[in-house]
Chain A
Amino acid sequence: DAGVIQSPRHEVTEMGQEVTLRCKPISGHNSLFWYRQTMMRGLELLIYFNNNVPIDDSGMPEDRFSAKMPNASFSTLKIQPSEPRDSAVYFCASSPDGENTEAFFGQGTRLTVV
């Protein structure tokens, strides 16, 4: 398996523009996570899906952020409108069901909003 695949790897956009980050989880994994890495908060969980259903979105910072998982092999994280403080590295991760499992991370998308 190729692992968790994220696109794009880098995104530079102007303030106010819409940004869409994409993720393909590992086949067979039932859980999908979106994380944001910042210096202050480390790896901050934004939203968690299980079997394509959002289970916990309490980490989504504002209404400007939204995430979807239309099927088991694809998820998007959208920011509209984007702001400079959204600049960070965004990671997608997936994990199989079961106890004591681990999350497998993609390589991340580095977002810069200017």
Chain B
Amino acid sequence: DQQVKQNSPSLSVQEGRISILNCDYTNSMFDYFLWYKKYPAEGPTFLISISSIKDKNEDGRFTVFLNKSAKHLSLHIVPSQPGDSAVYFCAASAPYAGNQFYFGTGTSLTVIP
């Protein structure tokens, strides 16, 4: 059973515009959320994270928003750049699960120059 869901397999955005990637989760015990970025033929790399005590975390062009009541988080990239074209994975962890991370199915972002 998929506890972390990314319902949009793909997204295309014009360069310079905002990219919004969405993620939903079902387990209310999750308290830490991460976004990973993956280029072809490479392993996923950590991008940004947020703890459940916050509702927003910003790092340069990347901002993650968390809505605990809706069990929803989103990643905003602004402005989007062609180099941002990659697959983005949402992940979550819970205190009871140790360091175990639960990943979504990924969203493939294409930024059109």
CA distance A101 to B2 in the complex (A): 22
Q: Decide if B43 is an interface residue (CB 8 Å cutoff).
A: yes
Interface size on B, residues (CB 8 A): 26
Q: A91: which B residues are within 8 A, CB to CB?
A: 43-44
Q: A95: which B residues are within 8 A, CB to CB?
A: 99, 101
Q: A107: which B residues are within 8 A, CB to CB?
A: 41-43
Given contacts A48-B100, A100-B32, A103-B101, contact A43 B44 (CB under 8 A): yes
The answer on a CB contact under 8 Å between B46 and A102 is yes
Q: A44: which B residues are within 8 A, CB to CB?
A: 103
The answer on a CB contact under 8 Å between A103 and B99 is yes
Tell me the smallest distance from the CB of A86 to a CB of chain B, in Å: 19
Q: A105: which B residues are within 8 A, CB to CB?
A: 36, 43-45
Using CB atoms and an 8 Å cutoff, list the residues of chain A in contact with chain B.
Answer: 4, 30-31, 33, 35, 39-45, 48, 50, 55-56, 91, 93, 95, 97, 99-108
3 closest residue pairs by CB, A with B: A42-B105, A105-B43, A43-B103
